[in-house]
Amino acid sequence: MKAQFLSVLVLCSVVVATLAAQNPMRPGSWEVTTQIEMAAMPVKMPPIKATQCVTPAQLKDPASALPSAAPNCKVSDYKTSGNTVSWKMACSAPQNMTGSGEMTFVGDTYNGTIKANTTQGEMTIKTSGKRLGDCTTP
């Protein structure tokens, strides 16, 4: 069960990062913080931070940023209103999941919330991102 939950967590993070790339943001290195809350979990999970390089190519074609784990997820009803975007999503693997989300961009930052329903219950995913600068190559 823990492995399935972690798979859902990783998949949600991927979807969030990819959706962030679909918005009027600048290419560069972005720090993304994700916090998951589940009523069924008695212990609050710590925030997860990750850094990702968003390239100009990904901004033109966000689907190119999805790793191989995400083809089982479909995003629909994607809408932009000013600096806020909203969407719905449905995933069939690693387990069934449906949800909706909203993100608001301000300059080189964003904040958002995703509500997801899984076989393990409902979860709320809060996410934020900030641009750190240009991407660096290893």
3 pLDDT exceeds 70? no
> What mean pLDDT is predicted for residues 113-133?
88
In this prediction, residue 22 carries a pLDDT of: 55
> What mean pLDDT is predicted for residues 3-20?
52
Query: Who contacts 45 (Cβ-Cβ below 8 Å, separation ≥6)?
Result: 35, 36, 37, 38
pLDDT interval class at 19 (50, 70, 90):
low
Residue of higher predicted confidence among 30 and 24:
30
pLDDT interval class at 134 (50, 70, 90):
very high
121 pLDDT exceeds 60? yes
Query: Who contacts 81 (Cβ-Cβ below 8 Å, separation ≥6)?
Result: none
20, with CB counted inside 10 A (0-12, 13-18, 19+), is buried
pLDDT interval class at 2 (50, 70, 90):
very low
Distance CA 42, CA 39 (A): 7
69 pLDDT exceeds 50? no
Domain boundaries, the chain: 2-133
Of 26, 9, 38, 10, which is closest to residue 110 (Cα–Cα)?
Answer: 26
In this prediction, residue 1 carries a pLDDT of: 43
C-alpha torsion angle, residues 7, 8, 14, 18 (rounded to 10): 150
What average pLDDT does the structure give for the chain?
76
69, with CB counted inside 10 A (0-12, 13-18, 19+), is middle
Distance CA 100, CA 117 (A): 9
Q: What is the pLDDT of residues 73-114, one digit of tens each?
A: 777 887 878 888 888 888 887 678 888 888 888 889 989 898
